[in-house]
Structure 1
Amino acid sequence: MLVLSRRVGERLMIGDDIVVTILEVRSDGVRLGIDAPRSIAVNRAEVLEAVTEANVAATAATDAAVDALRRLLPPPRTP
């Protein structure tokens, strides 16, 4: 991890086409401006983690749910 000290208005470059600008520094946080190509996703990590957890929870099936789905199927045919 690279750790930098920056002042308001200063920028840093990531690669050739991503620019991060320090917009404001307060006692409770820092405001950043990120200029990146549309092809690069820029997301907050906590949002991605919440979406991932929600997706995992949505795919988890309880035994009761599986049994209810099995009851919807017609009984197997015997020859």
Structure 2
Amino acid sequence: MLILARRPGESICLGENIRITVLSMQGKQVKLGLDIPADTTVYREELYKRAEEENKGAIPTNNEDLMVALQLWKRKKP
């Protein structure tokens, strides 16, 4: 992990397209401004992890399910 110290108003750049600026600090809270491309998606880590876990459990499969799906797919081919 890279650790950088920045003061309010200072920025770091990630590549050519992303700039993160420290906007303010109040107690334990830091406000960041992100200049990112419009097609870049940003998630808060705790929400990303929760969605990832829900997706893993949403459609449990096993090898037998995959083999049945493959056989059905092969039957539908002309």
Scaled by the length of structure 1, the TM-score of the pair is 0.67
Identity %: 36
Deviation sequence 1:1-38 (CA, Å, 0-9, x none)? 21111110111111011010101112122110111001
Give the structure with higher Rg (CA): 1
> Does structure 1 residue 36 correspond to structure 2 residue 33?
no
Q: Which amino acid aligns with 1:48?
A: Y
Q: Which residue of 2 aligns with 1:47?
A: 47
Q: Which residue of 1 aligns with 2:10?
A: 10
Give 1:60 shift. 4.0
| Unpaired segments ≥5 residues, structure 2 | 62-78
Q: Which amino acid aligns with 1:30?
A: V
Scaled by the length of structure 2, the TM-score of the pair is 0.67
| Unpaired segments ≥5 residues, structure 1 | 62-79
Deviation sequence 1:31-79 (CA, Å, 0-9, x none)? 1011100122222121111001112232248xxxxxxxxxxxxxxxxxx
Moved beyond 6 Å, runs of 4+:
none
How many residues were matched structurally? 61
- Say which structure is richer in helix: 2
RMSD, matched Cα: 1.6
